[in-house]
Structure 1
């Protein structure tokens, strides 16, 4: 290798060795899992203000619940507040079966089964659901843009 090429190669190696490596970013799969964890904690704490803060602040936010389209984050909070009036309210997801589906580095779905325990303390219902949550990256951080829930049918 000619001396000039060796010096260029040496300079390139020195530049590469001294250039800072950007910090690793979490992928969309990890981000949507983290977002769901925060949403789960807020629901189980019955903290509707925190639930609201995790939703996309847009009239296009969509929650499909019981076969109904619920548009906008305030409508979700209003509907969820009715459910949370029950003495027992607890969401228990099967996180081992959660499947993230990345659409790109700023958008991902998380699909998972869960059990919602709701009702009177003496005999609450245990409702099995499948949930798909669409998470999107925003300037304020990851937010829930849509939730799709359906009753889980036994196989």
Structure 2
């Protein structure tokens, strides 16, 4: 009788371990998916505010989304522009055009977590720039590196290339 009791307890314990394993296998991907959703929500919100600042031609606000100092990198027109100040000066020269507006295709954006404090957002964008009568529409691909600074996400680099 004691052996049957021991066998029953063993089987019950084994069943419980299997059940816990199944639940853990299910919960971990769901949690990872939830973390990814949270990351995407945060990054998209920050980029949305950044885009609004660009389209408002508010360079002070644009600069507030960048990391401070000389390590910020913007690759534009085949040039490396280092530092927030130099980037804002170059952006300011472009924004002197009568028409200057970014139209990101955010429905095509892909956000990849690089670490606990960094993520890359990649997406196509159309830059409308030039004269009001006939502005150019430049197709670009943008990769933005986001890093967490305290509670906030900041942009550490913007890498742009022509879209083909």
What is the TM-score when the length of structure 2 is the normalising length? Answer: 0.75
- 1:35: how far off? 1.6
* Greater fraction of residues in helix: 2
After the TM superposition, which parts of structure 1 deviate over 4 Å for at least 4 consecutive aligned residues? Answer: none
1:11-50 maps to which residues of 2 (within 5 A)? 27-50=38-61
* Structure 1: gaps (5+ residues): 1-23
CA displacement 1:38-59 (0-9 Å, x = unmatched): 1101000000000011100021
Q: Is 44-53 or 24-33 further displaced after alignment?
A: 24-33
Pairing partner for 2:125 from 111, 114, 139 = 114
- 1:29: how far off? 2.6
Contact persistence 1:60–1:71 (CA under 8 A): yes
Pairing partner for 2:157 from 140, 146, 150 = 146
Pairing partner for 2:72 from 61, 75, 99 = 61
Residue 123 (str. 1) matches residue 134 (str. 2) = yes
Residue 10 (structure 1) aligns with:
none
User: What is the RMSD computed on CA atoms of the aligned residues?
Assistant: 1.5
Pairing partner for 2:90 from 72, 79, 85 = 79
CA displacement 1:20-42 (0-9 Å, x = unmatched): xxxx9873332221221111010
CA displacement 1:78-112 (0-9 Å, x = unmatched): 00000000000110011110100111232101000
- 1:140: how far off? 5.9
Q: Tell me which structure has the larger Cα radius of gyration.
A: 2
How far apart are the structure 2 equivalents of 1:108 and 1:91? 22
SS in 2 for 1:137: strand
* Structure 2: gaps (5+ residues): 1-33
